[in-house]
């Protein structure tokens, strides 16, 4: 049972609508009457939660024990549902179970052996003395490590916990559930063995050196939830020093998914990437990568804004990646805040924080506008409001249509990298992956509600993996 008396910062977040991410099961005792279960259903519904199951656990004379399962808007909403149920005559809420927490109990991944050990012969081959011959073979021919060990199919998911989801700098331990989840997704969608590596340091030199030291066991490095601008230097240095691919998913996975979805959205409204006026909110890891990939794909009119306002060449205080973005964008040298650059925009891409825009901002965009409000868990603009004015709306939420999520990208991308035994990641691979992802939505299936495939589409991972492998071989990497 989860303690609801001590809400965390995340517990006050509200979803746009009831979500499985806030799923709760309440075990209640109710009088054994003809209307008892109907009263429970009516109360849950009146509380604006979505009932998902109602199970009578036992019947004891005058009372029933019932499990009421529902999706809520947030942790506070879960408490509200519980209190309203308990206010019914004769009803006692005996237990409240947050089903999200239950799914994480004991962790979400484990190690399983591929080679059985049933008797002494197996032991002699898998371990000593037989294993010594394999060690010597790898010593003589180092490339054999890919054939004789786990390296060919294993990825390290590395984080320092400095940018966990939209929650901020939570540290290594609090980042572990996300990294476990990432490992589960690698295995589920691409049969890649991934393992969380949560580092108790946020020093760039220590992170780089630690990854360099552990790299021999892995075929690739997936950097995750590392805050900007530190993430840029870490990726750059590791790509220079390692002979295996290094991929910061928050940057490049997001950028690939955005580009794929944008190609389809623009085709739907009859516009071209080369002609579109694009506004990007957020110039962190994801925003910077999105801008660079859009430019590589042919975009010519991008204006970016961060917490200090619109970026332009010559703006005081810009350094590093932000300065590079300013040099390559905003040719009209617009200034001001985000709201000032929304009028007339064809596309809005938000990779920043929630609730930045109002209805009037979306209404001021060009006809047949496109809104990608990707901040999680609260998007930059209310999605229902955005749909009143924009032709196509997408978010990063798993409980909404047009989910632009990097889970569409990284399993297939790493599958391709590992299959081709790539040494590095290139922009050509990223563009190829975006084209493959976009092609999953054919013109006859394309609509305002379907510009990017579902994460469970079985064709996505093979298509991306194949194009990444082809691009890698074409570039001889």
Known catalytic residues are: 127, 182
Residue keyed to tokens 């990284």: 410
CA–CA distances in Å: residue 342 to residues 86, 281, 364: 48, 10, 7
Q: In whole angstroms, what is the distance from residue 300 CA to residue 437 CA?
A: 22
* Peptide bond between residue 229 and the one before it cis (omega within 30 degrees of 0): yes
User: First-to-last CA distance in the chain?
Assistant: 51
Q: In whole angstroms, what is the distance from residue 37 CA to residue 50 CA?
A: 15
Contact of 92 with 44, CB cutoff 8 Å: no
**In angstroms, how far is CA 352 from the centroid of its own chain?**
14
Q: In whole angstroms, what is the distance from residue 310 CA to residue 279 CA?
A: 10
Nearest Cα residue to 160 out of 223, 247, 235: 223
Please report the sign of the dihedral spanned by the C-alpha atoms of residue 70, residue 73, residue 76, residue 81.
negative
* Peptide bond between residue 129 and the one before it cis (omega within 30 degrees of 0): yes
Q: In whole angstroms, what is the distance from residue 21 CA to residue 255 CA?
A: 25
Full DSSP string of 360-426: HHHHTSPTT-EEEE--SSS-SS-HHHHTTT-SEEEES-TTSSSB--GGGTHHHHHHHHHHTT-S---
129 burial type by CB count under 10 A (0-12 exposed, 13-18 middle, 19+ buried): exposed
Q: CB 105: neighbour CB atoms within 10 A?
A: 7
């Amino acid at each position: 049972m989860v303690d609801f008396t001590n809400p965390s910062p995340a517990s006050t977040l509200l979803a746009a609508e009831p979500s499985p991410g806030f799923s709760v099961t309440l075990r209640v005792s109710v009088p054994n009457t003809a209307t008892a279960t109907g009263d429970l259903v009516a109360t849950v519904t009146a509380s604006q939660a979505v009932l998902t199951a109602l199970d009578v656990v036992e019947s004891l004379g005058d009372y029933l024990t019932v499990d009421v399962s529902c999706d809520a808007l947030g942790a506070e909403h879960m408490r509200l549902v519980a209190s309203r149920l308990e206010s019914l005559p004769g009803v006692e809420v005996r237990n409240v179970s947050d089903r999200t927490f239950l799914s994480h109990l004991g962790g979400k991944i484990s190690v399983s052996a591929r080679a059985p050990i049933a008797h002494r012969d197996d032991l002699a081959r898998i371990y000593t003395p037989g294993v010594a011959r394999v060690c010597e073979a790898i010593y003589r021919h180092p490339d054999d490590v890919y054939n004789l060990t786990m390296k060919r199919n294993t990825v390290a998911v590395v984080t320092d916990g400095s940018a966990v989801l939209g929650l901020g700098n939570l540290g290594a331990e609090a980042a572990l559930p996300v990294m476990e989840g990432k490992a589960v997704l690698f295995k589920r969608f691409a049969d890649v063995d991934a393992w969380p590596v949560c580092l108790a340091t946020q020093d760039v030199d220590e992170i780089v050196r630690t990854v360099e030291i552990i790299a021999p066991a892995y075929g690739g490095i997936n950097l995750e939830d590392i805050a900007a601008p530190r993430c840029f230097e870490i990726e750059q240095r590791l790509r220079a020093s390692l002979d295996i691919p290094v991929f910061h998913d928050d940057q490049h996975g997001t950028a690939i998914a955005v580009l794929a979805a944008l190609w389809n959205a623009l085709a739907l409204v009859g516009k071209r990437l080369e002609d579109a006026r694009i506004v990007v909110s957020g110039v962190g890891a994801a925003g910077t990568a999105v801008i660079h990939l859009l430019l590589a794909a042919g975009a010519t009119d991008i204006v970016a804004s961060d917490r200090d306002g619109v970026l332009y060449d010559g703006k005081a205080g810009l350094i590093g990646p932000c300065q590079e973005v300013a040099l390559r964008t905003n040719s009209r040298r617009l200034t001001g805040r985000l709201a000032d650059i929304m009028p007339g925009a064809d596309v809005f891409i938000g990779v920043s924080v929630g609730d930045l825009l109002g209805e009037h901002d979306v209404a001021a965009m060009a006809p047949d506008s496109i809104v990608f409000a990707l901040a999680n868990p609260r998007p930059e603009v209310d999605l229902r409001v955005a749909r009143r004015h924009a032709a196509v709306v997408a978010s990063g939420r798993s409980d909404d249509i047009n989910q632009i999520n990097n889970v569409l990208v990284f399993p297939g991308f790493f599958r391709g990298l590992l299959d081709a035994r790539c040494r590095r990641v290139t922009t050509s691979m990223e563009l190829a992956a975006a084209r493959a992802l976009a092609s999953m939505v054919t013109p006859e299936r394309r609509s305002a509600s379907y510009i990017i495939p579902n994460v469970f589409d079985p064709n996505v991972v093979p298509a991306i993996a194949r194009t990444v492998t082809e691009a890698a071989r074409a570039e001889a990497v």
